């Protein structure tokens, strides 16, 4: 039987689920998945062009009939993540197929990419989208490396040059700690470091992310904070904090609006809303006096 994970839930879209799985089965032959063609060929019969439902039971190491019930949209028992992953691998799903599988079967988005370490290609059209936004905007990959940004984002930084990696800049840059990010420890470091830890847990084999974590752990300032995190992970959506705007040479508030390009799990599109007068509603002004922006 399909492994049970909690109570059975309603199917998102049975016809779409069946259409997706049937199509994927039809696109694979026995040789594609390491099954002998003789399983399909009887006397005077031609091998089938696609995989049978019983083949998926064999490939996923489940009892006969398990996959048939799953493809038909049977609500009981509810499949676990491990079964969905096994089916996805057996049918050689793409990331788009993986998301559709979760939506059609469980009415939810998958908790992680199907292939966390696969090379992610994000279209150049995102540069046009970022450029068209009226405020600062940028896109980072899974390790917070900046892929696209607009000029309004660049203007925030000294000499109009944005950092190559926003997480590294936020937690390791001396400029960020002393000038760029007012109340650095409480308003920035203790909020973004849990995001770093969560990302590393999600993508533990990401080399660049691992290198960044090790840099943070070795840092005499950020390292102890990272090691003794007492803040729970939270998304930055709607957060408002102080920021030093080097281009304007003044302190502003910034409200963050993150989203994710659907074809690039783990990537982040960040829109920033700047306000040149207001303070965050929960702001406590206990920062040191700001000096003029410095490099480094």
Closest by CA to 59, choosing from 74, 70, 45, is 70
pLDDT tens for 38-50 read: 666 554 444 456 8
1 pLDDT exceeds 60? no
Same domain, 200 and 137: yes
122 pLDDT exceeds 90? no
Same domain, 191 and 253: yes
Same domain, 183 and 223: yes
Whether residue 96 is contained in a domain is answered as yes
**246: containing domain:** 125-275
Q: pTM to 2 decimals?
A: 0.64
Q: How confident is the model at residue 4 (pLDDT cuts 50, 70, 90)?
A: very low
222 pLDDT exceeds 60? yes
Whether residue 283 is contained in a domain is answered as no
Same domain, 64 and 167: no
Q: What is the CATH number of the domain that holds 48?
A: 1.10.260
Same domain, 132 and 100: no
Whether residue 296 is contained in a domain is answered as no
Average pLDDT over residues 239-264: 91
Same domain, 98 and 155: no
Q: What is the CA radius of gyration of the chain?
A: 25
Same domain, 178 and 260: yes
Whether residue 285 is contained in a domain is answered as no
229 pLDDT exceeds 70? yes
What percentage of residues in the chain have a pLDDT greater than 70?
Answer: 82
Whether residue 150 is contained in a domain is answered as yes
Same domain, 192 and 96: no
Decide which of 50, 78, 106 is a domain's last residue. 106
Which own/partner contact pairs does 211-219 have at CB distance under 8 Å and 24+ positions apart? 212/143, 212/144, 212/165, 212/167, 212/168, 215/168, 215/172, 216/171, 216/172, 219/171, 219/172
State how many domains the chain has: 2
Same domain, 249 and 132: yes
Same domain, 141 and 206: yes
Same domain, 153 and 240: yes
Whether residue 264 is contained in a domain is answered as yes
Q: What is the CATH number of the domain that holds 180?
A: 3.30.450.180
Phi, psi of 220 (to 5 degrees): -65, -20
Report the DSSP beta bridge partners of residue 148. Answer: 139
| pLDDT at residue number 118 | 56
| pLDDT at residue number 40 | 60
Same domain, 51 and 131: no
Top-confidence residue, 1 or 174: 174
Whether residue 145 is contained in a domain is answered as yes
Whether residue 149 is contained in a domain is answered as yes
């Amino acid at each position: 039987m399909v492994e049970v994970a909690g109570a059975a839930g309603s199917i998102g879209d049975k016809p779409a689920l069946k259409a997706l799985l049937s199509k994927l089965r039809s696109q694979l032959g026995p040789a594609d998945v390491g099954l002998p063609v003789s399983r399909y060929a009887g006397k005077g019969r031609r091998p089938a062009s696609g995989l049978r439902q019983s083949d998926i039971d064999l490939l996923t190491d489940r009892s006969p009939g398990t996959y048939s019930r799953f493809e038909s949209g049977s609500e009981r028992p509810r499949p676990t993540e491990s079964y969905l992953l096994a089916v996805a691998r057996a049918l050689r799903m793409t990331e788009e197929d993986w998301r559709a599988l979760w939506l059609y079967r469980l009415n939810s988005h998958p908790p992680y990419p199907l292939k966390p370490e696969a090379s992610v290609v994000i279209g150049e059209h995102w540069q046009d989208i970022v450029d068209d936004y009226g405020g600062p905007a940028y896109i980072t990959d899974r390790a917070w490396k900046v892929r696209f940004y607009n000029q309004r984002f660049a203007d925030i930084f000294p000499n109009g040059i944005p950092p190559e990696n926003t997480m590294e800049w936020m937690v390791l840059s001396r400029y960020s700690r002393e000038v760029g990010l007012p109340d650095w420890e409480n308003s920035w470091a203790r909020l973004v470091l849990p995001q770093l830890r969560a990302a590393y847990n999600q993508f533990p084999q990401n080399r660049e992310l691992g290198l960044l974590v090790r840099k943070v752990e070795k840092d005499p300032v950020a390292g102890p904070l990272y090691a003794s995190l007492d803040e729970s992970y939270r998304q930055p959506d709607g957060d408002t904090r102080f920021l030093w705007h080097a281009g304007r040479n003044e302190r502003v508030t910034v409200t963050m609006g993150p989203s994710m390009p659907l074809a690039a799990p783990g990537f982040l599109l960040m829109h920033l809303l700047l306000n040149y007068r207001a303070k965050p509603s929960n702001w406590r002004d206990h920062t040191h006096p700001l000096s003029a922006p410095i490099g480094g």
